[in-house]
Structure formats: C-alpha cells, structure tokens
Structure 1
Amino acid sequence: LNDIRLKEKGHNNGITVLTNLPVDQFKTITLETRDAIKTTLQINNNELDIFTVYLDDLSEDVRVKQTRTLLKYVDQTKPTIIMGDLNTLVLEILKN
C-alpha cells in the first residue's frame, strides 16, 4: 500500500491476491493515497478481472475519488469482482 501510516505499522498491513488459477495480468493501480491490485485470471478460457482494494479510512471524499479512479480501469465487457476493505460507514445504522 502507498500509505505512510500503514508503512509505519510494518509488513502486516496491506493487500494481496492468492490464487491457484493462471494469472494473465497483474497491475498495481495508484488510488490517491493508496494502491489497488488488478489481477486478470484465466478460468476455462475466459478472463476474470479481480480488483483488490483498501480504500482510505479517514475521508469519504478521498474514498469517492479512489472509487472513481478505480472504475476507469474496469472493463465493463468482462466479468469483474471488486473486493477488499471499502471502509464504508452508514451513520443511520449507528443512530439506532
């Protein structure tokens, strides 16, 4: 991850992809204050794009910018999974 606070905490913080399927492509994408990983897998002669993200935990505005940047890399003609820590919070749930 490209985040100074996390780098100070050491090597146990970050994102990764583990798979036993063939990897066609692996790419790091810079999302404002953090990075994402785009992995393209080959499954039964079909490609699957997987985005692994760890969005900013302090600012919703930054998360929105990160998400917009990420969506520029999504090929809408291919099956895609976006996963990771999205750091979303619904305040209405906390009020009850």
Structure 2
Amino acid sequence: MGGAFGLTAKTPLDKFKYMGGSKPKLFVQDNGVHREFCENCGAFLCEYGEQNKDKFRYIMTGTLDDGPDALPPKGEFFTSQRNKWMPEIPDTFQKKKIQS
C-alpha cells in the first residue's frame, strides 16, 4: 500500500549507511527501481534505480531520527499531477515530469 506523496532526500552512496546492525529487505521492480524495507517492521527506507545503484540513494526522510525537518525540501517532482488543493512548496524548483 502506498501513498500519493513521499518526501525523499538524495544522498551519495558513500555518505549512506544503515545503523543498528539490521539488513534491509530488497525488492526490485520490473522497471529496475530498487526499494529497501526494514527487515523488522517493513517500513519503506529508500529507493534507487538500477543505473545509479552504486552512486546514490533516495532516503525516505520520515525514517530519519530527526524526521523530515533534518533535510528540508529543495524541489518538487511530478508537479503536473499535483492535486488542486495541494500548495506549491515555496523556494523550491518545480519539475512537471521526468523524461525517460
């Protein structure tokens, strides 16, 4: 089950590590998107594409000890699909869609 919105932070792989000794469960979609989940509770932790798996991770900021406030947003993606009631985040770049 997922939601319509997600707040992630792009982090270089050499600056990323899991704490606490657990190893995440990996799920790879047919389109090459890798998603990692907590082995204990199943929380969605991060995602990355096959082509960049050795370069960076998109971390779900809600999983950070300091929460989403630790890394404020710099941009919004898929804004062409923004619900009418959802406001634009001020002072961020806006990307209507991502070209494949």
Same fold (TM over 0.5): no
TM-score by length of structure 2 reads 0.28
Structure whose residues are more often strand by fraction: 1
TM-score by length of structure 1 reads 0.28
